[in-house]
Amino acid sequence: MPQPKFAHESLVTMTEMVLPNDTNTLNNLMGGRLLHWMDICAAISAQKHSNRVVVTASVDNVSFSEPVKLGNIVTMQAKVTRAFNSSMEVNIEVWAEDIPAGTRMSTNRAFYTFVAVDQNGRPIEVPPVTPETDAEKELYASALRRRQLRLVLAGRMKPHDAKELKALFGEMEEE
Ligand SMILES: CC(C)(COP(=O)(O)OP(=O)(O)OC[C@H]1O[C@@H](n2cnc3c(N)ncnc32)[C@H](O)[C@@H]1OP(=O)(O)O)[C@@H](O)C(=O)NCCC(=O)NCCS
């Protein structure tokens, strides 16, 4: 198995300015453009962790609660939370900044899953992640439940086998 790597070794920060070609007719950033930037930032993070070519396997739950305006500066920060066999979960957070107005707001968050592949596009083993901070440890622990949920939804895991996920729902019923 490849040697473990620290979560922070996969940290990637990417910054973009929202230009006219990135916007919809309301002069707000298009969702598809933001997803494209997020995909690139998260893929670089997965590449840093695995030192491999990676492909996007899935994206979880992106909501667009706040419009991002023309001229805003968009900053994305991505980090691998946990690696399994060939797949890695990447947490990405997004902020939009209006520099002249001096405002900055958190706009999006998502979990991307990437799979490392060899020269023939076949999945290949990746290093485990060693979390260090409390936040990294929490994301590492909860990654197992998120993996089970996305694999169940993708029809790749039977709900019966999603043990950590079932345990979570059990805990919620007891509360
Ligand atoms: C992702 C891909 C390599 C998986 O190949 P596969 O033959 O299904 O391989 P496996 O069944 O062995 O799964 C490999 C890993 O992918 C993960 N995976 C597959 N589908 C997934 C999904 N929908 N969500 C999350 N993880 C997924 C599996 O859990 C497994 O992870 P693990 O090795 O850590 O346990 C393949 O489906 C592919 O090439 N997809 C296209 C990727 C692409 O082009 N992305 C850009 C989109 S335009």
CB-ligand 1 contact for 56 (6 Å cutoff): yes
128 vs 7, 50, 85, 100, CA distance in Å?
9, 9, 8, 42
Across the chain, mean pLDDT equals 95
Q: What is the CATH number of domain 5-132?
A: 3.10.129.10
What distance in angstroms lies between residue 57's CA and the mean position of ligand 1's atoms?
5
Q: What is the mean pLDDT of residues 70-76?
A: 98
d(CA 15, CA 74): 6
Closest atom of ligand 1 to CA, residue 86: 33
Share of the chain above pLDDT 70, in %: 97
Of 121, 122, 141, nearest to 131 (Cα)?
A: 141
Alpha helices in the chain, H assignment, sequence order: 31-50, 134-153, 163-174
Is residue 111 within a helix (H) or strand (E), and if so which, with residue range?
strand 103-117
CA-nearest residue for atom 37, ligand 1, is 57
What distance in angstroms lies between residue 103's CA and the mean position of ligand 1's atoms?
39
- Sign for the CA dihedral angle at 68, 22, 93, 12 comes to negative
Tens-place pLDDT, residues 18-39: 999 999 999 999 999 999 999 9
Tens-place pLDDT, residues 50-61: 999 999 999 998
Parse the chain into domains and list their residue ranges. Answer: 5-132
pLDDT of residue 36: 97
pLDDT of residue 172: 63
Considering the entire predicted model, what is its pTM? 0.94
21 vs 16, 37, 62, 162, CA distance in Å?
13, 14, 22, 43
CB-ligand 1 contact for 156 (6 Å cutoff): yes
Start-to-end CA distance of the chain, whole Å, equals 40
**For residue 164, what pLDDT band results from cuts at 50, 70 and 90?**
confident
d(CA 59, CA 43): 12
pLDDT of residue 173: 66
d(CA 115, CA 131): 20
Whether 127 shows a pLDDT value over 80: the answer reads yes
- Sign for the CA dihedral angle at 1, 89, 170, 162 comes to negative
Residues 6+ apart with CB under 8 A from 152: 158, 159, 162, 165
